Amino acid sequence: MDMKAYLQRVNLTDTGPPSLSALQELHRRHVLAVPFESLSIHSGEKIILDISWIYDKIVVRRRGGFCYENNGLFSWVLQQLGYQPRVLAARSRDRMTGTYGLPFDHMISTVELEGRTWLCDVGYGEGIAEPVPLEAGWEGEQDSGVFRLQVEGDEWHMERKEEETWRCLYKFTLKECTFEDFREMCEYHQTSPSSFFVKKSFCTQLLPGARLTYVGHRLISTEYTKGGGCVRTTQELTNEEIPEILRDKFGIVLKGKLIPKDEAIVLPNLPQ
């Protein structure tokens, strides 16, 4: 695995020694270059929780991935560059039902820099564009929206502002995990009818001040406005148009035939 090839993948020629500015630039470049997507699941490709396999997919084949792939690769990159990332587990909140996913539902990481702890997450479709300080009550606006961190007991909540209300994206604790801890949930998210990734064929890419999202037979363009608002437009797609959209808009050419999907999620009975 070649670090120079990864840097080229995220449109960087070089990165300096560990620093906050270098980390911010690396994080931002990753989310602007690498899509968050579930296309493997809908085109006959098994996702393998192995860094070399993920590197080949994202860097060599110029694909995207879901959180275990994007954040797993990013954590490896940070280690190679001299950072000391800690892997954490989170549970995503379903925006329709308000229920949280199973433990190890989502992967994030933290880095200690310049006397503060920074939360990194390059693997969440509507999440942060740059690292945020792991501080209770932190609130800030980025190109991808307005976010804040709230704490209840030992649980941290990453929240996103939508007009005048706040919506929790996921909750997590500061207990350190290993990459291997997510193996069972990686399989779950490829097979379970309760998995968003199984029920939706999608690909979403952050742009400066905007986001482009393919899902099912739709292409959704989102323009972010100041203060947490947004303007969305939707284009209906035919089966024939989808491969062209993936190639021209996201730079993705699939090996297998994509079966478009956009179905309701069957939620399990989860204790909250």
- How many structural domains does the chain have? 1
**Cα 112 to Cα 24, 117, 133, 242, distances in angstroms:** 13, 5, 10, 42
Residue 208 within a domain = yes
**271 band by pLDDT with thresholds 50, 70 and 90:** very low
> pLDDT tens across 117-142, in order?
999 999 999 999 999 999 999 999 99
**The predicted structure's pLDDT at residue 229:** 87
Reported confidence tier of residue 223, pLDDT bands at 50, 70, 90: very high
Active-site position among 27, 30, 42, 106? 106
Residue 67 bears catalytic tag: yes
pTM for this model (two decimals): 0.95
In a domain, 93, yes or no: no
Amino acid at 78: L
Name the catalytic one among 27, 30, 42, 121. Answer: 121
* Residue range 149-199, pLDDT digits in tens: 999 999 999 999 988 899 999 999 999 999 999 999 999 999 999 899 999
- For the question of residue 168 being annotated catalytic, the response is no
Domain for residue 136, yes or no? no
SS3 category, 248: helix
Question: What contacts 107, CB < 8 A, 6 or more positions away?
Answer: 67, 68, 71, 72, 87, 88, 89, 90, 123, 177, 182
* Residue 122 resides in a domain: no
The verdict on residue 209 lying in a domain is yes
Is 179 exposed, middle or buried, given 0-12, 13-18 or 19+ CB atoms closer than 10 A? middle
**Which DSSP symbol is given to 100?**
B
For range 26-33, the mean pLDDT: 98
Catalytic residue among 27, 30, 67, 157: 67
Domain that holds residue 220: 193-250
Q: 67 lies in a domain?
A: no
Residue 12 located in a structural domain: no
Tell whether 140 is covered by a domain. Answer: no
Q: Is residue 186 among the annotated active site residues?
A: no
Question: Looking at residue 79, what is its pLDDT?
Answer: 97
